[in-house]
Structure 1
């Protein structure tokens, strides 16, 4: 029996649904580890906090503008995936300057937050 693992997805910022175009990436890992190697052997690893994110392409138009996206700070951002998983960013903001792809009427949005969860 087949099981859906990819496909339809939805994204909201403070309850407002964005027109998700595609290229949805989620990374809610709280830490990043880097191996430490000495001259004689691997000594272990260092662990640092990392900023979790949700990144995607959204359509621009009457419902969504670059100004609206730029104004997002301290938001709850939720991505719901076809496989039933839900990813949430807390106290999220939009990170990058926005570039409009006029040919396709969209922009890439990267939300970053203080923490994330998976359900």
Structure 2
């Protein structure tokens, strides 16, 4: 029997739902480990984030999205996984691309949790 593992992804920022083009990314862990010798490792904290390519629709509240500093981002994957990012804010320089009508956007936050 087949299992659905990919497809349409739903993403919301403070309840505002975006149309995505499928390019959504969320980290699986909040730490990065690296071996320093056999059986020994170091561990670094990672910043929680959510990246997406969203459609620049005419009603997209750009100012609200780009100026908020404490958003809750919810990402629902087609495989049933849900990632919730809290304390989120937009980083980098998101731009609207006229050739395909999309915006690449990334939110960093204080805590990311898989539900």
**Structure-1 separation of matches of 2:61 and 2:99:** 16
**Structure-2 separation of matches of 1:68 and 1:58:** 15
Per the TM alignment, residue 69 of structure 1 is displaced from its structure 2 partner at its CA by: 2.8
| Correspondence list, 1:8-87, <5 A | 8-37=8-37, 42=38, 44-87=40-83
The alignment yields a C-alpha RMSD, in angstroms, of 1.6
**Structure-2 separation of matches of 1:90 and 1:63:** 24
- Verify the 8 A CA contact 1:90 1:116 in the aligned structure 2: yes
* Runs of 4+ with >6 A deviation: none
**Structure-1 separation of matches of 2:104 and 2:83:** 18
Q: When the two structures are superposed, what TM-score results if normalisation uses the length of structure 2?
A: 0.90
Structure 2 unmatched ranges of 5 or more: none
**Structure-1 separation of matches of 2:25 and 2:6:** 12
Give the aligned length: 115
Q: When the two structures are superposed, what TM-score results if normalisation uses the length of structure 1?
A: 0.87
**Structure-1 separation of matches of 2:105 and 2:87:** 16
Equivalent position SS for 2:11: strand
Structure 1 unmatched ranges of 5 or more: none
**Structure-2 separation of matches of 1:76 and 1:4:** 26
**Structure-1 separation of matches of 2:55 and 2:17:** 11
**Structure-1 separation of matches of 2:76 and 2:95:** 25
